[in-house]
Amino acid sequence: MKNILDSDYPAYFATYINHVQNDDCILAMEENLNDFILFIENISTEKYNYKYQENKWTIKDIVRHIIDAERIFAYRALRFARFDRTPLPGFEENDYVANVNTMTIEMTDLLQEFILVRKSTIKLFESFSEEMLSAKGIASENEISVLSVGFIISGHVIHHQNVIKERYL
């Protein structure tokens, strides 16, 4: 069982956390890294810029979003692990995707960036003590623990991998 309580995160993150099967946050991140890279590499390159509906993201947009979100989540974890209680604002994911042109970016470059970001996130979480992992902070007006953020990072990727399977392939 994951060493987190329902009170360690806002209810809307339960879906992400429940996607993660490994009870070890760092091992989950490592497995998730490898699974996601293999998954994306096995998609036909013709699908990378496909949208299943007019105002939806492409697969490249989803990968860009995953990278951006992981950076934000890792920043939150760092702040909370360092016992910085300054409340952090939310972010508008659609604005982030709208302000980058993934049509001009190769998927190999996106995947390389994802690998580097994830390895950095893993190193960050490896540096946290038990006390730091249980620390909490405020993000988007909700209290959340550092450890919960770690599971959310992996679960967020799994969520989007499932969306790609269901709607893009």
Distance (Å, whole) CA 115 – CA 34: 9
- Whether 1 maps to a domain, the answer reads no
* 119 HSE (CA, 13 A, CB side): 8
Q: Is residue 131 part of a domain?
A: yes
- pTM for the complete prediction? 0.96
> For residue 133, is it within any domain?
yes
How would you classify residue 95: left for phi > 0, otherwise alpha for psi between -120 and 50, otherwise beta? alpha
Residue pLDDT, tens place only, 105-160: 999 999 999 999 999 999 999 999 999 999 999 999 999 999 999 999 999 999 99
Check which CATH number belongs to the domain holding 162 and give it: 1.20.120.450
pLDDT tens readout for residues 11-53: 999 999 999 999 999 999 999 999 999 999 999 999 999 999 9
Q: In degrees rounded to 5, what are phi and psi of residue 87?
A: -60, 140
Amino acid, res. 161: Q
- Distance, in Å, from the CA atom of 83 to the CA atom of 168, rounded to the nearest integer, reads 41
